[in-house]
Amino acid sequence: MVSRVGSDIGGTFTDIVILSEDGSTFEIGKVLTTPDNPDEAVVVGISEALASSGVPPGDISYAAHATTLFTNALIERKGARTALITTLGFRDAIEIAREHRYDMYDLRMERPRPLAARHLRFELDERVLADGSVRKAPDDADILSIIEQLKAEKIEAVGVCLIHSYVCPAHEQRVAELLARELPSVAVTISSELVPEIREYDRTSTTLANVYVKGIAERYLKQLSRRIRDELGIECALFIMQSNGGVSEIEAARRYPIRLVESGPAAGAQAAAYFGQLLGHPNLLSFDMGGTTAKACVIADGEPLIAPEFEVDRQYQFKKGSGLPVKIPAIEMIEIGTGGGSIAQVDALRRLQVGPRSAGSKPGPVSYGLGGTEPTVTDADLVLGYLDPKFFLGGKMSLDADGARRALVERIGKPLNLEVTEAAWGVHQLANESMASAARIHAIERGKDVQKFPIFAFGGAGPVHAYGVARILRSPKVLYPVGAGVLSAIGLLTAPLAFDFVRSLPGPLDNLDLDAVNALYEQMEAEAREILSRTVPVDKITFRRFADMRYRKQGYEIRVPFAGGKLAAASIPTLRQSFEEHYRDLYGHTVPNASVDTVSWRLVALGPRPELKLPKIPASGTDAKAALKGTRQIYLADARHFGEVPVYDRYKIGAGTKLSGPAVIEERESTVVINGPGLISVDEIGTLSVDLENKS
């Protein structure tokens, strides 16, 4: 039977899923991530899943992959030795960054170091004006002189970002031609090809980030493709998840690896959107808690929200503005350093802190027994009875509960004069409060009322904490899908082939150059067909159009969708109406009689969305006795003491089952913990729905 495979590398675990097109096979797996050789965990995980499912490698017709490799390379500064070529006088723009300070009262505030050190930033005497006219063309001798300096510095990668190249890319293209001729082994990215839009700092930052990891991407993706083919016998093409929620063919991924930086979280958000539609909840809050971080994402009308840019390597508690801007569309979410492996500690002021430091997969939480000495959220959850030390990963891995207790006593209990249970509950609840606060802010900033949104919980640690987070947020319901621990890998199989295009053409809406805009869309659609038609039939490609618009004299734009087709004079009032509707949704008001400007024009090209057929579970009425594994003492949130609760085997709970909390429901890759009241029901595909309405 034809099947698909998805693999997602996380900070602690690598997740695998194999799903047949008829729904008869639904095999999931989870192995520890191998950070020194990340493709090893993918190959081992897929091999184990193939063996346990009985699916022959030749039956795999589609393979998709997501990874944190490029994010980690940027954060840990493990990319190429990178240089920048920019316009004369703009050498320091990348370091000056923006006038805005993310914390105006912190005199020791730090920003991420530029990916090209100052002595590796070279100025070229050329100039293009904002209207695209050339004031001074570059001289080949000047370019060749810079190239000689690059050779002397043993440069491995070069980013080229010249002023106003988004309207006239000829100068950047000439630099790239000479670099390819003189330095054929050096990776090169030009900004006019990657991100042809205004804002020089953001454009330069994005260009440098892309070329910084380009060599890593080319080596890694080539090696992963080879191993999947040669060692596993899977012959189909490999697709890579992008930050925008769509997958890309491997050649485009190697060329534009910066588009992959948020691939894992994006896959999870796509899965949440898919299940939300399937379950009749097109509006929900996606809550993904893994081993290293937790992510919250608003799903509205069945789609995750898209941001035109994001940041990597944030320096200050994941605070916006403290990282490197990357001007690439990405699914909009908030991410905080709170995961199962997040380290709990007492700071100099005797305050309990959880994260953002993580124990990762090496050495991991203390309870893993792999050398970790600092207590983590997972250790606290184990002490509270929420995890079974003999059934972690379905029994593949045993947890050391005594070691977790000792670490919590030594590192948290003694400094704060707390018993071990109080210390563990403090860690667990602080993690919940941090995640709830982040989710609330994320929803409010997007004009959404989080109290009206069900929470869709997944990730290895998400089902353990989602109930507590939902009660803090006063959410009406929590949804727990089957395979929650590997849902990002499932999301890979729900994502369409997609690619984004953008062109800047600033101007007043009331005096829009319609011919110029229509010409831009003709160019972008032609480019999209060329890229996507290598994989998707041309007649299956669809397009979505967006305009970046703002009130005149505002500093930033909002992304406004509008219908396809040729723009005409009658389109202008419709564009303004759409802008004001979206502006009102975000900010609660509009600005009467204010002029509106357009800045950039965007196109999203999409292939058809894959159709999944999930296996249905047999009905069992309302009786769950067959699924009862026993009972266990867990810490109850309301009673503030341990109590005996039933523990259920999720794989034996039938459709139509009704349960009441408190309860624990276990599956191999995650554990659902309901440590208070709640009405639990099970649907035909095994989704647990916990009704929290009227529960404090």
Residue 548, pLDDT score: 95
The answer to whether 81 touches 156, Cβ cutoff 8 Å, is: yes
Residue 669, pLDDT score: 82
Q: What does each C-alpha distance from 182 to 149, 174, 177, 664 come to in angstroms?
A: 12, 12, 9, 64
Other CB atoms closer than 10 Å to residue 255's CB: what's the count? 17
Supply 442's token pair. 């994320």
SS3 content of the chain, % helix, strand, coil (to 5): 35, 25, 35
Below-70 pLDDT ranges, the chain: 1, 315-319, 621-623, 693-696
**In which region does residue 621 sit, left (phi positive, over 0), alpha (psi from -120 to 50) or beta (all else)?**
left
Residue 623, pLDDT score: 67
The answer to whether 286 touches 354, Cβ cutoff 8 Å, is: no
User: Coil, strand or helix: which one is 76?
Assistant: helix
User: Which of these, 113, 111, 95, lies nearest to 322 by C-alpha position?
Assistant: 111
The answer to whether 195 touches 173, Cβ cutoff 8 Å, is: no
What 3 state SS string does 596-640 have?
EEEEEEEEEEECCCCCCCCCCCCECCCCCHHHEEEEEEEEECCCC
Kindly tell me the burial class for residue 77, based on how many C-beta atoms sit within 10 Å of its own C-beta (0-12, 13-18, 19 or more).
exposed
Residue 121, pLDDT score: 97
Residue 315, pLDDT score: 67
Q: For the segment 469-495, what is each residue's pLDDT rounded down to a tens digit? A: 999 999 999 999 988 888 889 999 999
The answer to whether 228 touches 58, Cβ cutoff 8 Å, is: no
- Report H helices in 305-395: 377-383
Distance CA 378, CA 381 (A): 5
Residue 29, pLDDT score: 86
The answer to whether 674 touches 455, Cβ cutoff 8 Å, is: no
Distance CA 486, CA 500 (A): 27
Residue 62, pLDDT score: 92
The answer to whether 426 touches 384, Cβ cutoff 8 Å, is: no
End-to-end CA distance of the chain: 48
Kindly write down the DSSP assignment for every residue of 389-410, as one continuous string.
TT-BGGGTB---HHHHHHHHII
Distance CA 460, CA 397 (A): 14
Alpha-carbon dihedral angle through residues 28, 33, 34, 37, given to the nearest 10 degrees: 70
List all residues 6 or more positions away from 611 whose beta carbon is below 8 Å from its beta carbon: none
Q: For the segment 64-112, what is each residue's pLDDT rounded down to a tens digit? A: 999 888 888 888 888 999 999 999 999 999 998 887 777 777 777 777 8
Residue 99, pLDDT score: 74
Topology at the third CATH level for domain 77-217: Dna Topoisomerase Vi A Subunit; Chain: A, domain 2 (3.40.1360)
Question: What phi and psi, each to the nearest 5 degrees, are found at residue 490?
Answer: -65, -40
* Domain at 3-73+220-257, CATH class: alpha beta
Topology at the third CATH level for domain 498-606: Dna Ligase; domain 1 (3.30.1490)
Residue 456, pLDDT score: 95
The structural domains of the chain, with segments of one domain joined by +, span: 3-73+220-257, 77-217, 342-428, 498-606, 625-691
Residue 621, pLDDT score: 62
